[in-house]
Amino acid sequence: MDRIAEPDALQREFSSLVPDIILASSSPNRKKLLEAGGTHVSVYVPEIDEERIGATPDDIVMSIARRKIEAYLASPAFDGSRLVVAADTLVLIGGQLLGKPGGDGEAAAMLSMLSGRTQTVLSAIGIKLPGRPYDVLIDRADVIFRQLSASDIAAYVATGECRGAAGAYRLQKTGYTLVERIDGDWTTVVGLPLRLMIDYIRKAI
């Protein structure tokens, strides 16, 4: 897969629609995704229990995104005049949900599981526009990994990019070298589905 050039057209389109946003997430990659297109980002880090609650994978990831935005809305930092988004991302493969690896060993095991297979990345957002109630939305993208050797996996784990990344890789860094193809929005794989947000905002305003 070719490296993604930033900012791409989707990031610039989002920035023209949303020049300023509150991001209720501790993810530096979501922040960089927005800033690369020109959006000014203010960060609020919600303190929540990220226990996986729900009957389906969609329910689980949407529940976590809901808890994040509700934590912001209930906080003293809440500013009703600005758009806010919270997000959560999980990877689904063979009926198993993968979150962030607990260490390098778990990261290597995740990458070995993903090698040569198709995974589904689930990214949910909690989004609130000024003067409107919040909504929780979800997007999916299929990611096909190339066949990885043990040395490929060891080399990638050594970069440190696995840490804090759902599925143990970061697409927008050197993780793109692990990927053969993406069916869907690449920003959904990064963890913040910009096309979904653009379409929602345009319908709401």
Q: pLDDT at residue 172 above 90?
A: no
The average confidence (pLDDT) of the chain is 96
Ranges of each domain in the chain: 9-204
pLDDT on residue 25: 95
- Residues identified as active-site: 88
DSSP conformation class of 165: -
Q: How confident is the model at residue 201 (pLDDT cuts 50, 70, 90)?
A: very high
pLDDT on residue 50: 86
- pLDDT above 90: percentage of residues in the chain: 93
Global confidence as pTM: 0.94
Contacts of 40 (CB under 8 A, 6+ apart): 19, 20, 21
- Higher pLDDT, residue 51 or 179: 179
Q: Give the separation between CA 179 and CA 161, rounded to whole angstroms.
A: 15
Please state the φ and ψ torsions of residue 188, each to the nearest 5 degrees.
-65, -35
pLDDT on residue 126: 98
Q: Which class for 95: exposed (0-12), middle (13-18), buried (19 or more C-beta within 10 A)? A: exposed
Classify domain 9-204 by CATH architecture: Alpha-Beta Complex (3.90)
For 47-65, what is each residue's pLDDT tens digit? 998 889 999 999 999 999 9
